[in-house]
Amino acid sequence: MGLNKVYLNALEIWSDEVANQNASGFLSKMWVGKGVTTQEINELAKLTLRNVIWCKLSYKNDFFVHFGYDYYMYIGANKDCPNARKKVEDSGLFVENFNSPYLN
């Protein structure tokens, strides 16, 4: 979609693992509403999938990333992205058409 930044829409830090993951400094620079870069998105995803934090990311009503239980990622866009879908499938991950339970 050509996005170079998305926004942090929700952030919950609910794990004692923050210190163990050396994430205190990084997380002190995160807040709801902050525009996050690709590098920061990678770190947020890693921390979320390790159950250190929980967050939601989006860009207006055009794109979102939500994290669920059992390592689910809900990624949505307001337009079809067949090239992105193919890359994900080619990487060995599964793509399903599904509404995110975290949209609201």
pLDDT 10s digits, 62-75: 999 999 888 888 88
Average pLDDT over residues 17-22: 89
**Mean pLDDT on 73-81:** 88
Give the contacts of 6 (CB within 8 A, at least 6 positions apart): 35, 36, 41, 57, 58, 59, 63, 65
How far, in Å, CA of 79 to CA of 89, rounded? 18
